[in-house]
Amino acid sequence: MGGYGGQWGAMGGNGGQCGAMGTPRGVSDPPILCPPPPQMTIHNLYIFDRAGTCLHYSEWHRRRQAGIPKEEEFKLMFGMLFSLRSFVGKMSPTDMRDGFVSFHTSKYRLHYYETPSGLRLVLNTDLSVSSAREALQHIYSNLFVELVVKNPLCPPRAPVQSELFRARLDAFVRGLPFFSPRPA
**E runs forming strands in the chain:** 9-11, 32-34, 42-48, 54-59, 102-104, 109-114, 120-125
31 with 93, same domain? no
- Structural domain boundaries, residue 9: 1-37
Answer yes or no: do 168 and 80 share one domain: yes
* CATH code of the domain in which 167 resides: 3.30.450.70
| Amino acid at residue number 176 | L
Same domain, 60 and 11: no
Q: Could you tell me if residue 163 is inside a domain?
A: yes
Stated pTM of the model: 0.73
Find the angle CA(52)-CA(88)-CA(50) to the nearest 5 degrees: 15
Does 25 share its domain with 49? no
**Domain count for the chain:** 2
Residue 8 in domain: yes
Q: Is 19 contained in some domain?
A: yes
> Do residue 101 and residue 165 come from a single domain?
yes
DSSP-assigned letter for residue 154: S
pLDDT in tens, the chain (184 residues): 333 333 333 333 344 444 444 444 455 555 555 554 455 688 899 999 999 999 999 998 777 777 889 999 999 999 999 898 888 878 777 766 667 788 888 888 999 999 988 999 999 888 888 888 899 999 999 999 999 999 998 888 899 999 999 999 999 998 888 887 655 4
Does 182 map to a domain? no
Claim to verify: residue 18 and residue 49 sit in the same structural domain: no
- Asked whether residue 60 falls in the same domain as residue 140, the answer is yes
| Nearest to 39, CA basis, from 124, 171, 128, 105 | 128
Who's near 159: CB < 8 A, 6+ residues apart?
Answer: 53, 54, 55, 56
**What would you report as the CA-atom Rg of the chain, rounded to the nearest whole angstrom?**
21
Whether 119 and 148 share a structural domain: yes
Mark whether 58 and 19 lie in a shared domain: no
Give the span between the Cα atoms of 112 and 98, in whole angstroms. 10
The pLDDT score that the predictor gives to residue 85 is 85
- Is-contact 169 32, C-beta < 8 A? no
